[in-house]
A and B are shown apart, each in its own frame.
Chain A
Amino acid sequence: MTVASDVKQCLANMKSVEGGLESLALRTEDENAKITFQEAQNILEEIIRGLKRRTAVLEMEEDQYKGF
């Protein structure tokens, strides 16, 4: 397993969490909970953006991680 695939897996998990939060935010009746879920979802979006950039870099220079 390479680092790139690990990072990608983490990215996929993050996306699933983001989706889960969004679906909860839509279904929740409680306003406070709704807002909290949306805030968390925004944070996750930002993290996903960072990870996406990183995977792009990793795809280009995979050999840097040989030996891991």
Chain B
Amino acid sequence: MPAWLEVASRAFLFLVLLFVIAKLAGKKHITDFSFFDFVIAIAVGTITGITTIGLETSVLEGIIGVAVFGLIPILISLVLLKSKTARENIEGEAAVLIKDGKILEDNLKTENMTTDKLLESLRKKDVFQVADVEFATLEPSGGISVLLKKENQPLTAKDLGVTVPGTKEPQTVIMDGEIFDEPLATVGLNRRWLKTELEKLGVTVENVFIGQVDSYGQLTVDLFDDKLEQARPVEKPQLLAVMKKCQADLENFALATEADDAKKMYEKNSKLLQSAIEKVTPYLRG
């Protein structure tokens, strides 16, 4: 066998082997690599390179080297999955850096973290003042996690006591002008409904780049033709507006009528409608 063919076949063999090991190792982003993972990756790469080009080393030895370096970490990760003590010893634990708003200088020292580095990590988390932090830890992967004091946390609907409507994931029913039946069926709709909605918006399927249905069965589209003004769904706000108008009408009738029982009926219904409006407003707004 000529040397070039030997190199090519070895390269191909190792590509397949590495692909299998990568599949077995599962999903792990390179930024999540610990020092250990990093060293293993380099070792595997080096062995592969040497065995591919250096024809004097035997293929079998190369494969054994790669297999040990590749498979043992996979076994370790299986052990880690089962045992908490193994996790603590191998992966390390999160170190508390700030507790009750106070920096723990001793822990900084044991983690080899300088004050500047701490400030830098905090700034990366958009925290520029240490006093804003309630609790912070250094994660085994090297990043820091920050819990802000309650008054510095972003305002949520819960803080305000506002009812917000729940949302489900939207379904993408049109891509590149093509209708997809499965997501349509998931939300209990069909092509005929989609056709009607598209007609309401005044667009053709061919012109739709992406069309999505939200959890209220409203269709929003992005068109290929960006010069066209995009229609927003108006059904819900319109409904709310009509309800408000009706309520105002009822109040008018109550003021205008001279019949006592009618006046009472209008007033009662106006109040009822007001309560209905208050109920549905969070769901119909926006």
- Beyond A14-B246, A40-B276, whether A50 also contacts B269 by CB under 8 A is yes
**Hey, which chain B residues are within 8 Å of A57, CB to CB?**
259, 262
Asked if B1 is at the interface of the complex by the 8 Å CB criterion, the answer is no
Q: Is the beta-carbon distance between B273 and A33 smaller than 8 angstroms?
A: no
Out of B215, B246, B259, B266, name the residue touching A13 (CB < 8 Å). B246
> Chain A 2-46 against B: per-residue CB contact (8 Å), 1 yes, 0 no?
010011001001101100110010011111110011011001101
- Give B206 Cβ to nearest chain A Cβ, in Å: 25
A36-B280, A43-B275 known; A17 and B239 CB under 8 Å?
Answer: yes
A62 to B: closest C-beta gap in Å: 13
Residue B245 interfacial (CB < 8 Å): yes
Bound-state CA distance A44–B277 (Å) is: 10
Do A24 and B216 touch (CB < 8 A)?
yes
CA A38 – CA B123 in complex, angstroms? 49
Tell me whether B280 and A21 are in contact (CB under 8 A): yes
Stretch at the interface among B109-117, B145-153, B249-257: B249-257
The answer, yes or no, to whether B60 is at the interface (CB within 8 Å) is no
Distance in Å from the Cβ of B182 to the closest Cβ of chain A? 16
Instruction: Judge whether B166 is part of the interface by a CB distance below 8 angstroms.
Output: yes
The yes or no answer to B268 lying at the interface (CB within 8 A) is: yes
Q: Is the CB of B250 within 8 A of A32?
A: no
Tell me the chain B residues, 122-181 only, with Cβ under 8 Å from chain A. 165-168
**Interface members, chain B 215-244 (any A CB < 8 Å):** 215-217, 235-236, 239, 242-243
Q: How far is the CA of A39 from the CA of B275 in the complex (A)?
A: 10
